[in-house]
Amino acid sequence: MVKSLTCSYLFTMYLHWLILLFSTAETLNVSETELYADMDCNGHPEIYRESYTTIYEFILNFTNSKETYKRPFIDGYPSFVFVDMYVTSIAAVNEKAQSLSTQVKMMTAWYNGIPLWMYSKQCGITRFQASKEMFWTPDILIKESIKTDYGTTPSPYVQLQMWEFSVSIDILTLTTACRMDLYKFPFDTQICNITFQSAVHTKF
């Protein structure tokens, strides 16, 4: 039986989001010493530590204002949330229950409202990891979900980009409802939709 999976996205994706995703995926677990972009910081870990501390204090001062707990927006415009999902494996297909079990990597990005920091004066640091509890995060739900579990321990961190975006990556194990047409078995092709939505926010 041949199975194909398609995803209908509530949120819009753009080329610059794809570029951001690929660059983020490569650097999420990068060591601090590899984040040097300014030649003056190479071989000077004490300068890097000072820059790292400066950025941390800058973000901490901003979060203390409680602004980060509110949904970030610019001049009343809606908050755009960008979602990308990669299906890494199809674990099970249950024809009787009309369900599909998959493992996926979900990458989410959104505008966070944190002012830009001068990365050129901070050893070229353009990314910073911080606790998710310090910030507003979008409530992304899957409409067809029967059961959703984390494939690994949920990451307590979100990655802050210096261009005012936050990025979160989760590994999920999904069991989703899928209406199957089995009349052409074993030469059938099934299309299973996965729809992202928000529980408390509209799409507009």
Instruction: Say what the pLDDT of residue 132 is.
Output: 86
Enumerate domains of the chain plus CATH numbers.
2-198 (2.70.170.10)
Q: What is the mean pLDDT of residues 22-34?
A: 43
Coil/strand/helix, residue 14? coil
pLDDT tens-digit series, residues 41-52: 777 778 888 888
pLDDT at residue 103, rounded to an integer: 92
Q: Report the alpha-carbon distance of residue 38 to residue 28 in Å, rounded.
A: 19
Q: Find all residues with CB under 8 Å of 22, minimum gap 6, and list them.
A: none
* pLDDT reported for residue 57: 83
The model's pLDDT over 95-120, given as tens digits with 9 standing for 90+, comes to: 889 999 999 999 999 888 777 777 77
DSSP result, 76-102: TPPPPEEEEEEEEEEEEEETTTTEEEE
Query: Given this model, what pLDDT does residue 13 score?
Result: 45
What's the one-letter identity of residue 144?
Answer: E
> What per-residue confidence (pLDDT) applies to 203?
58
The token duo for 202 is: 């509209």
